[in-house]
Amino acid sequence: MNKKMTISSIQKTKNVRPLVMITAYDALFAKLLESSADMILVGDSLNMTFGGKSDTLSATMEQMIYHTNAVCMGAKNSFVVCDMPFGTYINKDEALKNSIKVFQQTPADCVKIEGGEDKAHIIKYLCDNGIAVCGHIGLLPQSVRSEGGYKVKGKTSQEQLQLIEDARAVEEAGAFCMVIEGVKAKVAAEVAKSVDIPVIGIGAGVEVDGQVLVFSDMLGLYEEFTPKFVKKYLNGATLVKDAVKKYAQEVDLKAFPTEEHTY
């Protein structure tokens, strides 16, 4: 069994090896993923993949706590990150109240909040009060409605400078690592170089300190939409549909169950 990562061992990977982060939302998949992942993220993306919603905005604290507990049950030896849902960290007090709920009601190792310089005061307040924080900068899925879509960041020199400011502010506030999403690869590489904590990319190229993917995307289970940055390591949807089709046919033909599966 792999040794569970800690904040310190995660930080020591910087400039040594890339971190592997993957999402999970339940015990079954968490258990399957844990031997290969350094960190498991219970992302609010579960609102889309599991909840069928068109974005992450309606995810709730209750959902995140339920799924985080399920993941922690399945992957007892994993470093687990719990995403804070939209609206649960609008100010320092709300952020602390809701993060304390995560720490008291689940064994999660840290929370993740979206935002850069603008959220640094909140990250600092959480860290000062014993909550470990993973930042999230660049394309922020919780801003999809206010921004009118998912917009790749780092295209203008102003955006490039802002991303570096964001990363530095998140680090200075006390976050031990951060996710960078949907950023031009060259810019993400500069951002990773500009801080001493690991910067884990999703749609941010290879020159960062690790990668994160949504498990249902990389297993080819989510068919609605495939972003450019997703590589499908399995044709999961086809495999599942073929297997269920075969089961249905065998039930129809009374070819299942045979003697082997009968008491």
45 binds ligand KIV (CB under 6 A): yes
Which segment (36-44, 60-68, 102-110, 163-171) binds ligand KIV by CB under 6 A?
Answer: 36-44
CA 90 centroid distance within chain:
20
Tokens of 124: 């600092």
Which segment (31-39, 43-51, 92-100, 250-258) binds ligand KIV by CB under 6 A?
Answer: 43-51
Among 14, 22, 43, 169, binds ligand KIV (CB under 6 A): 43
> What residues from 76 to 105 belong to the interface with ligand KIV (CB under 6 A)?
83
Q: What is the DSSP string of 20-83?
A: EEEE--SHHHHHHHTTT-SEEEE-TTHHHHTT--SSSTT--HHHHHHHHHHHHHH-TTSEEEEE
The CA distance from 56 to 85, in Å, is 8
The torsion defined by the Cα of 70, 75, 81 and 83, in degrees rounded to 10, comes to -30
Active site residues: 181
Q: Residue 191 — φ and ψ, nearest 5°?
A: -60, -45
* Residue 41 or 120 having the CB closest to ligand KIV: 41
* Residue 55 or 256 having the CB closest to ligand KIV: 55
Among 39, 84, 179, 221, binds ligand KIV (CB under 6 A): 179
Which residue stretches of the chain are H helix? 7-11, 27-33, 46-49, 61-74, 92-105, 120-128, 144-147, 157-173, 185-193, 215-218, 236-252
Question: How far apart are CB 48 and ligand KIV at their closest, in Å?
Answer: 9
23 binds ligand KIV (CB under 6 A): yes
Residue 36's contacts (CB-CB under 8 Å, 6 or more residues apart) are 20, 22
- Which residue, judged by CB position, is nearest to ligand KIV in the bound state? 43
137 binds ligand KIV (CB under 6 A): no
Question: How far apart are CB 245 and ligand KIV at their closest, in Å?
Answer: 30
44 binds ligand KIV (CB under 6 A): yes
Give the footprint of ligand KIV on this chain (CB under 6 A).
23, 41, 43-45, 83, 179, 181, 202, 212, 214
